């Protein structure tokens, strides 16, 4: 009786199909990796280009800020008899320093609506999203070297919005520098 080993033939065909399938999956994976790699490279080039643009803009802004600081130094406003700044104190007051302190210490989500000088008082009015921000702003102004007796006149919620209006009153100190 002759024996035919059909199992070996079936196994070799299965192995051939498995190897073919694995090679096909490997080829697909290499193709996908190559495609993704090209996409990532183009995105990386774009990000590097954006970074370079941002760094150039940062350099220009830094130069502009330095120029503005020099300009502010050259354009110091000192009180003279009859000027609005003379209402604050008999001697000179640096109005640009006052405005600089107000602007630099202004918290986010807070907008000023008016500032006015009246006799020896300085009034700041504005709008904010959070009332606690105003109390922090009061502390910052009070700790500065240009203001004293900083007080909150009112903090009112606007109707139909989340905004709160506020008014601050303070005294401006004479130029101490």
**Considering its fold, how many domains does the chain have in total?**
2
* 105 and 50 part of one domain: no
Same domain (yes/no): 108, 61: no
**Do 48 and 127 have their domain in common?**
no
Alpha helices in 75-130, H assignment, sequence order: 95-105
Confidence class for position 11, pLDDT limits 50, 70, 90: low
Are the C-beta atoms of residues 123 and 169 closer than 8 Å to each other? yes
Q: Decide: 85 and 112 in contact? Cβ < 8 Å.
A: no
Instruction: Examine the pLDDT at 101 and tell me if it is beyond 50.
Output: yes
Domain boundary among 75, 93, 128: 75
Is 145:176 a contact under the CB 8 Å cutoff? yes
The predicted pLDDT at position 88 comes to 46
Binned at pLDDT 50, 70 and 90, residue 168 comes out as: very high
3-state SS record for 107-156: CCCEEEEEEEEECCEEEEEEEECCHHHHHHHHHHHHHCCCEEEEEEEEEE
What is the pLDDT confidence band of residue 10, given thresholds at 50, 70 and 90? low
Tell me what pLDDT residue 78 has.
Answer: 44
Measured in whole angstroms, the distance separating CA 100 from the mean position of its chain's CA atoms is 18
What number is the average pLDDT over the span 131-146?
87
Q: What is the CATH number of the domain that holds 105?
A: 3.30.1360.100
Q: What residue numbers bound the domain in which 158 lies?
A: 84-172
pTM score of the predicted model: 0.47
91 and 54 belong to one structural domain: no
- Does residue 1 belong to any structural domain of this protein? no
> Which band of pLDDT confidence, cut at 50, 70 and 90, is reported for residue 151?
very high
Q: What is the mean pLDDT of the chain?
A: 79
For residue 86, the model assigns a pLDDT of 44
Same domain, 97 and 160: yes
Q: Over the stretch 61-88, which tens digit does the pLDDT of each residue have? A: 888 888 887 777 766 544 444 444 444 4
Q: Which residue has the tokens 């090679």?
A: 23
- List C-alpha distances in Å: 78 to 12, 67, 97, 105: 98, 21, 11, 22
Give residue 73's pLDDT: 72
């Amino acid at each position: 009786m002759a024996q035919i080993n059909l199992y070996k033939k079936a196994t070799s065909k299965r192995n051939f199909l498995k190897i073919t399938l694995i090679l096909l999956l490997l080829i697909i994976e290499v193709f996908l990796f190559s495609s993704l790699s090209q996409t990532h490279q183009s995105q990386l080039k774009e990000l590097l280009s954006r970074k370079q643009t941002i760094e150039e803009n940062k350099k220009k802004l830094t130069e502009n800020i330095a120029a503005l600081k020099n300009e502010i130094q050259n354009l110091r406003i000192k009180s003279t008899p009859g000027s609005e700044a003379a209402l604050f104190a008999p001697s000179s007051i640096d109005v640009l320093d006052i405005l600089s302190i107000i602007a630099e210490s202004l918290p986010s989500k807070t907008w000023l609506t008016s500032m006015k000088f009246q006799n020896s008082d300085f009034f700041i009015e504005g709008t904010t999203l959070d009332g606690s921000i105003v109390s922090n702003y009061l502390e910052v102004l009070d700790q500065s070297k240009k203001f004293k007796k900083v007080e909150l006149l009112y903090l009112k919620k606007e109707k139909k919005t989340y905004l709160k209006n506020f008014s601050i009153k303070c005294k401006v100190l004479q130029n101490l520098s």
